[in-house]
Chain A
Amino acid sequence: QKEVEQNSGPLSVPEGAIASLNCTYSDRGSQSFFWYRQYSGKSPELIMSIYSNGDKEDGRFTAQLNKASQYVSLLIRDSQPSDSATYLCAVNFDSNYQLIWGAGTKLIIKP
């Protein structure tokens, strides 16, 4: 069974520090990996996608993919209170349209 695992948190990080969010997945055939942010009471929004091993940076966000170890991470540098949200990891297995979603990690940035 294809699964995506995330620590539910909450993960508490002081403002200005680096927040590190992790996600593991079960299938080595996975092709594409996505991080979505969901504020409380709102719908998810895509913040990062990564398709190949290594790091991908976009502003304060860095996605890291290690297919051999089957994990994908999201780093948020210079964390701000506005980054407080639930972060959802989603994986596309076998180039299928079906995304498998993690349950999300709740991140709290403390001023």
Chain B
Amino acid sequence: GAGVSQSPSNKVTEKGKDVELRCDPISGHTALYWYRQSLGQGLEFLIYFQGNSAPDKSGLPSDRFSAERTGGSVSTLTIQRTQQEDSAVYLCASSLATNTGELFFGEGSRLTVL
């Protein structure tokens, strides 16, 4: 597709379950970001991938969160043992190169933890 694709668009899960969120960036975009946005709040940086370089994981809130990017394209964000405070919209963005702020966002994955 032409844009950043995220799935699922909506996920409801029970506390303690694991969830996986997927992001397929724009073709040719080497940089990929994951952000989290809670209701009415700003963007919280989670993790950054650039090509084959080691990812910047400095924004991951706890060791329950992990992410990988296979083949420099699709990325998966995994949240283990979900908690209610994990409820938020998880946004993926990609960009053509490093040190630009021209990000293209997916529509997000809304996670609700009951």
Q: Which residues of A contact B (CB under 8 A)?
A: 31-34, 42-46, 49, 88, 90-92, 95-99, 101-104
Contacting residues of chain B (44-71) with chain A, CB-CB under 8 angstroms: 45, 48, 50, 56
With A97-B31, A97-B50, A101-B43 already in contact, the answer to whether A43 and B108 are too (CB < 8 A) is yes
Interface residue B103 (Cβ < 8 Å from any Cβ of A): yes
- Some 10 contacts from A to B, beta carbons below 8 A apart, are A44-B103, A46-B103, A92-B99, A92-B100, A95-B99, A97-B50, A97-B98, A97-B99, A99-B101, A101-B43
Interface of B (DSSP majority class): loop
Which residues from A are CB-within-8-Å of B34?
none
Q: Is the CB of A44 within 8 A of B50?
A: no
With A44-B105, A97-B48, A97-B98 already in contact, the answer to whether A104 and B42 are too (CB < 8 A) is yes
Q: Is the CB of A96 within 8 A of B99?
A: yes
Chain B nearest CB, measured from A88 CB (Å): 7
Q: Which residues of B contact A (CB under 8 A)?
A: 31, 41-43, 45, 48, 50, 56, 91, 98-108
Which residues from B are CB-within-8-Å of A98?
45, 48, 56
Which residues from B are CB-within-8-Å of A99?
45, 101, 103
With A97-B31, A104-B42 already in contact, the answer to whether A43 and B48 are too (CB < 8 A) is no
Q: Is the CB of A103 within 8 A of B42?
A: yes
Complex CA–CA separation, A46 to B31 (angstroms): 16
Top 9 nearest A-B pairs (CB, nearest first) are: A43-B105, A103-B42, A34-B101, A95-B99, A92-B101, A101-B43, A97-B98, A99-B101, A43-B108
